[in-house]
Amino acid sequence: MAGMNTDLEKKREQTQTLIKQGLYDQAVIICGQTLEHLYRWLYKELQPRLKPQEQQSVSKNIEKHGKAVGDLTIFEEGSNVARPAQPRHASAR
Protein backbone atom coordinates (compact mmCIF):
# COMPACT_ATOMS: atom_id res chain seq x y z
CA MET A 1 0.00 0.00 0.00
CA ALA A 2 2.98 2.34 0.50
CA GLY A 3 3.57 2.51 -3.25
CA MET A 4 -0.11 3.20 -3.75
CA ASN A 5 0.14 6.27 -1.51
CA THR A 6 2.89 7.66 -3.73
CA ASP A 7 0.82 6.94 -6.86
CA LEU A 8 -2.24 8.60 -5.32
CA GLU A 9 -0.23 11.68 -4.43
CA LYS A 10 1.10 11.91 -8.00
CA LYS A 11 -2.44 11.60 -9.38
CA ARG A 12 -3.65 14.28 -6.94
CA GLU A 13 -0.89 16.64 -8.08
CA GLN A 14 -1.66 15.89 -11.73
CA THR A 15 -5.33 16.58 -11.11
CA GLN A 16 -4.55 19.86 -9.32
CA THR A 17 -2.44 20.97 -12.28
CA LEU A 18 -5.26 20.17 -14.71
CA ILE A 19 -7.74 22.10 -12.57
CA LYS A 20 -5.42 25.12 -12.42
CA GLN A 21 -5.16 24.96 -16.20
CA GLY A 22 -8.94 24.86 -16.46
CA LEU A 23 -8.89 21.35 -17.94
CA TYR A 24 -11.76 20.14 -15.79
CA ASP A 25 -12.89 17.22 -17.94
CA GLN A 26 -9.38 15.76 -17.98
CA ALA A 27 -9.22 16.17 -14.18
CA VAL A 28 -12.45 14.20 -13.84
CA ILE A 29 -11.09 11.46 -16.11
CA ILE A 30 -7.87 11.18 -14.06
CA CYS A 31 -9.90 10.94 -10.84
CA GLY A 32 -12.18 8.31 -12.40
CA GLN A 33 -9.19 6.23 -13.44
CA THR A 34 -7.77 6.54 -9.93
CA LEU A 35 -11.05 5.33 -8.43
CA GLU A 36 -11.06 2.39 -10.84
CA HIS A 37 -7.57 1.47 -9.66
CA LEU A 38 -8.71 1.63 -6.01
CA TYR A 39 -11.80 -0.49 -6.74
CA ARG A 40 -9.68 -3.16 -8.45
CA TRP A 41 -7.27 -3.20 -5.51
CA LEU A 42 -10.17 -3.49 -3.05
CA TYR A 43 -11.74 -6.31 -5.07
CA LYS A 44 -8.47 -8.26 -5.05
CA GLU A 45 -8.17 -7.76 -1.29
CA LEU A 46 -11.75 -8.70 -0.43
CA GLN A 47 -12.63 -11.40 -2.95
CA PRO A 48 -10.54 -14.16 -1.30
CA ARG A 49 -12.05 -13.28 2.10
CA LEU A 50 -15.65 -13.73 0.98
CA LYS A 51 -17.67 -16.82 1.80
CA PRO A 52 -18.13 -19.16 -1.20
CA GLN A 53 -21.78 -18.08 -1.60
CA GLU A 54 -20.75 -14.40 -1.58
CA GLN A 55 -17.97 -15.08 -4.11
CA GLN A 56 -20.51 -16.73 -6.39
CA SER A 57 -22.91 -13.78 -6.08
CA VAL A 58 -20.13 -11.30 -6.89
CA SER A 59 -19.02 -13.39 -9.86
CA LYS A 60 -22.57 -13.49 -11.25
CA ASN A 61 -22.89 -9.72 -10.96
CA ILE A 62 -19.57 -9.18 -12.73
CA GLU A 63 -20.55 -11.64 -15.48
CA LYS A 64 -23.57 -9.44 -16.27
CA HIS A 65 -21.12 -6.88 -17.68
CA GLY A 66 -19.43 -9.46 -19.90
CA LYS A 67 -15.97 -8.26 -18.86
CA ALA A 68 -13.23 -9.21 -16.46
CA VAL A 69 -12.89 -7.10 -13.30
CA GLY A 70 -9.75 -5.47 -14.69
CA ASP A 71 -11.68 -4.32 -17.77
CA LEU A 72 -14.62 -2.71 -15.97
CA THR A 73 -14.70 1.06 -15.68
CA ILE A 74 -16.83 3.55 -13.79
CA PHE A 75 -17.64 5.04 -17.19
CA GLU A 76 -19.43 1.85 -18.34
CA GLU A 77 -22.58 2.20 -20.42
CA GLY A 78 -25.46 2.27 -17.97
CA SER A 79 -23.39 3.44 -15.03
CA ASN A 80 -24.35 6.53 -13.07
CA VAL A 81 -21.19 8.33 -14.15
CA ALA A 82 -21.04 9.84 -17.61
CA ARG A 83 -17.75 10.20 -19.43
CA PRO A 84 -17.30 13.70 -20.84
CA ALA A 85 -17.92 13.68 -24.59
CA GLN A 86 -14.89 15.79 -25.50
CA PRO A 87 -12.09 17.08 -23.28
CA ARG A 88 -12.76 20.79 -22.85
CA HIS A 89 -10.73 23.68 -21.62
CA ALA A 90 -12.39 26.17 -19.30
CA SER A 91 -11.90 28.96 -21.85
CA ALA A 92 -13.94 26.97 -24.40
CA ARG A 93 -17.12 27.39 -22.36
Cα–Cα distances (Å) from 36 to 43, 62, 71, 74, 76, in that order, read 10, 14, 10, 7, 11
- Domain locations along the chain: 2-77
Among 7, 28, 10, 16, CA closest to 83: 28
Q: What is the pTM of this model?
A: 0.65
Report the C-alpha gap between 5 and 12 in whole angstroms: 10
Higher pLDDT, 90 or 50: 50
| Residue pLDDT, tens place only, 66-90 | 888 778 777 665 454 444 444 455 5
pLDDT of 22 higher than 80: yes
